[in-house]
Amino acid sequence: MPNNKAIKQIKSLIEKFGKFLFVPITISFISFSIICIYLAFKNICPAEKLASFLDNINKYGNIFTITIALVTVGLILNQIKLAVEANKLTPRTQWTDNFEKYFKDKKPSSQKISSMIQTYFLKKSDDIFDFLYSLDTPLRIDNKKELTNFFNDFIKAKVREFELDSDGYHQNNRSYKSLDTSYSITDIQKVLPFVLKATRNYQSLENDLINLYKTEVNKMIEEHKLKK
């Protein structure tokens, strides 16, 4: 029996085939079929209209057969996609509802999370769930590559905004005493317990994320000369 990772790889290849080949090929054969019907009508014999039309259509039988097969496959694939989305809807709704509740439960001042960070993560919650759900181990980060992909997709482009919005940044005269300093990383770490859960094989998740985050902060500090 193929493992979960192999199944996902096969699924990915099928999706790529559908995106880059299946759709244009299907459209091409539908176009050919329309042209064939036009030619069948154009060359019809007035004396025997129906028989002549069917005879002309038979000349292009292979094209019609392929077209019908492609359209049928397309409909089946679409139904499969709809079924997958339907199966994912309930766990996604539960996950996003719990995510929102997680933020609401952060009542003590020491646990509060920046409103910008909270708003951003709640806004992206559906996309975050879809990303995590599609992993080899659903909703669990299994290695640094998966973590890096998550970071690049959802956090990397926002690091500068998070830093410039942070209380620490403004309290320190919009500057940094040294590299490897981040004023917003503590809020990101408060989001971690809910969003990013490591498997037993990957226990360095939090440290790796902190390093990825601080690398982006360092780039910002050096680029904008924010170090005292």
- Same domain for 148 and 52: no
- Same domain for 200 and 136: yes
3-state SS assignment for residue 139: coil
pLDDT in tens, 15-24: 666 666 666 7
| 13 lies in some domain | yes
Q: Could you tell me if 70 and 23 are in contact, meaning their C-beta atoms sit under 8 angstroms apart?
A: no
Domain boundary among 88, 121, 144: 88
Q: CA angle 106-110-112, nearest 5°? A: 40
- Same domain for 41 and 125: no
- Same domain for 192 and 119: yes
| 97 lies in some domain | no
Residue 161 vs residues 33, 54, 110: alpha-carbon distances, Å: 54, 67, 22
Domain count, the chain: 2
Cα–Cα distance, 195 to 128 (Å, whole number): 8
Q: Model pTM?
A: 0.65
Cα–Cα distance, 113 to 186 (Å, whole number): 9
DSSP label at residue 47:
G
| 110 lies in some domain | yes
pLDDT in tens, 70-104: 677 666 666 656 555 656 667 888 999 999 988 88
Cα–Cα distance, 42 to 56 (Å, whole number): 10
| 100 lies in some domain | no
pLDDT in tens, 114-169: 899 999 999 999 999 999 988 988 899 999 999 999 999 999 999 999 999 999 99
pLDDT on residue 31: 74
Cα–Cα distance, 2 to 7 (Å, whole number): 7
- Same domain for 44 and 128: no
- Same domain for 9 and 111: no
Domain boundary among 55, 88, 121: 88
- Same domain for 208 and 129: yes
**Region 31-53 average pLDDT:** 62
- Same domain for 221 and 121: yes
Domain that holds residue 30: 1-88
Domain boundary among 59, 88, 117: 88
- Same domain for 115 and 81: no
- Same domain for 188 and 82: no
| 95 lies in some domain | no
- Same domain for 122 and 53: no
- Same domain for 23 and 129: no
**Region 204-225 average pLDDT:** 93
